[in-house]
Amino acid sequence: MMPISEEIAGAFVNSQNEMASHYDARQSFTTEESFTTEDILWAAGIWSVILTLSPVIVFYMLMVA
């Protein structure tokens, strides 16, 4: 097995440390997760479309079958 040069090994360790520091920084921003007004409005809009169209889809399926 060929030995890994110190330069390559150092680059690998540095990239791992950089990834870890980016991950830690990102985690500190998202410590508190909660629903925003935009999330609630999006969910309400999706459910209103589903509930509005479901009778139409059921009626269509009964007429076609």
What residue segments make up the domains of the chain, in order of their start?
Answer: 36-65
Q: What is the pLDDT of residue 33?
A: 83
Mean pLDDT computed over every residue of the chain: 77
3-state helix, strand, coil in the chain (%, to 5): 80, 0, 20
State yes or no: pLDDT of 38 exceeds 70. Answer: yes
**Confidence (pTM):** 0.42
Question: Cα–Cα distance between 17 and 27 in angstroms, integer?
Answer: 15
